[in-house]
Amino acid sequence: MESVWRIILLDDHLEAHEDHFVHKLANLLRLSHSELIEAKLRARKQLS
């Protein structure tokens, strides 16, 4: 999931369709919302 977040966050702008996609994917992978957010934060940290 971190890899997906890194790709989405590369342009430093989260589009509505990207947010929808990542939430759908997290649901399919049965990730909790907190796991999704943790992956997002780790990805942001890696990009900075």
- Cα separation, 40 vs 18, whole angstroms: 13
CB 43 within 8 A of CB 2: yes
Q: What is the pLDDT of residue 48?
A: 87
CA 45-3-46 angle, to 5 degrees, is 15
pLDDT band at residue 1 using 50, 70 and 90 as cut-offs: very high
Query: Total domain count for the chain?
Result: 1
The domain in which residue 40 lies consists of 2-47
Residue 36 has pLDDT above 90, yes or no: yes
Report the mean per-residue pLDDT for the chain.
96
Residue percentage of the chain with pLDDT more than 90 = 96
Residue 29 has pLDDT above 90, yes or no: yes
Residue 2 has pLDDT above 90, yes or no: yes
CB 44 within 8 A of CB 9: yes
